[in-house]
Amino acid sequence: MSTESDPLRFLVVDDTEDIRDLMSRMVVRLGHLADQAADGVEAVEALTRNDYDIMLLDLTMPRMSGEEVVRWLRENPDRGVGLDIVIISAWAGEQRAVLQELGVSTVLPKPLRGQQLRDLIDDKYARTSP
């Protein structure tokens, strides 16, 4: 559990390297930690090895989609304890209902804006503070 003085640990998942790097740099610039995964398979591997506070997740990726990652987390709930899943996608519209059924409530458009990231961080701290 993080406090406002502790950095949050992010997993940034996107198959486009430039977007993944940009989001990771934004996270680090705000004083937090960022691991990267190039697709859903790498995301599942990272989630198996590490605990994260927030996952920024693209939907459309090769090998394993963002929706499939969320389904994997629902089947392996011990790997998602305390994890906020944030879908970052330009094309989430038709999948919103499915994502809501899977428990994902935060869907943000690409490109992610700095203020949106700050709001996510502030919200996470507000929910984890004693």
- Domain membership of residue 21 (yes or no) is yes
**Tens-place pLDDT, residues 43-79:** 999 999 999 999 999 998 999 999 999 999 999 999 9
**Tens-place pLDDT, residues 4-29:** 579 999 999 999 999 999 999 999 99
- Domain membership of residue 91 (yes or no) is yes
- Domain membership of residue 2 (yes or no) is no
What is the CATH classification number for the domain harbouring 56? 3.40.50.2300
- Residue 72's domain comprises 9-128
Instruction: With beta carbons less than 8 A apart as the criterion, state whether 55 and 11 touch.
Output: yes
- Domain membership of residue 4 (yes or no) is no
**Tens-place pLDDT, residues 89-100:** 877 666 777 888
Q: Where are the beta strands (DSSP E) in the chain?
A: 9-13, 33-37, 54-57, 84-88, 106-108
Q: How many domains does the chain have?
A: 1
